[in-house]
Amino acid sequence: MSTANRVWQKKGWLIAGGFFAFGFALIPLYNIACEHVLGIKLEQGAVDADAAAAMTVDESRLVTVQFVASTKSTLPWAFSAEKVSMQVHPGQLSEAWFDATNISARDIVGNAVPSVAPNSASLYFNKTECFCFTEQMLKAGETKRMPVRFIVDPRLPKDISTLTLAYTFLENDIATKKLAESNQAAAPAS
């Protein structure tokens, strides 16, 4: 290999390495942009119990929380919120219920993807328990009732009086495939 080719090969490897490193750098930049610039809360876990207990209920104020439930078009589930909306006092632990029914003839594993609107309000919406924290398995024809327990932070800006909590259920193809393989392996031979 000539010296010129080696130089270009080294440059190529450096450029490839730079793109690889840039890809990893995008993750913290994305988190910073979402949470601090756009006000979108990215964490999926439950709010810390101590933080929830430390919130003071603001009984002078009511916030309307609307609930939206949907599924990806390829997921054969019926999914709905028990209530369309409810009014809560900021700082108050509240509970809403959702129902999912697998209307297919096969067992399916799904994951719920949550979102809060307006985006800036997501920083003030804290879930203590949610079906979105784990995957949900529904057997063929099974219905499951699932709670969401939440607290609207009393620091929610006063100009926000309505929040929308939306969930979209998607099929977890990998988990559903593993479940089908497991069910097939456990089935008695005919």
- Per-residue tokens: 114: 């949550």
**Which residues 6+ apart lie within 8 Å of 167 measured at CB?**
68, 69, 70, 79, 98, 112, 113, 114, 115, 132
58: amino acid identity, one letter: D
DSSP codes joined into one string, 136-184: EEE-TT-EEEEEEEEEE-TTS-TT--EEEEEEEEEE-HHHHHHHHHHHH
Reduced to 3 states (helix: H, G, I; strand: E, B; else coil), residue 8 is helix
Could you read off the pLDDT of 28-81 as tens digits, one per residue? Answer: 554 444 444 444 444 555 666 666 667 889 999 999 999 999 999 999 999 999
Could you read off the pLDDT of 82-97 as tens digits, one per residue? Answer: 999 999 999 999 999 9
**Which residues 6+ apart lie within 8 Å of 27 measured at CB?**
none
Could you read off the pLDDT of 126-152 as tens digits, one per residue? Answer: 999 999 999 999 999 999 999 999 999
pTM for this predicted structure: 0.72
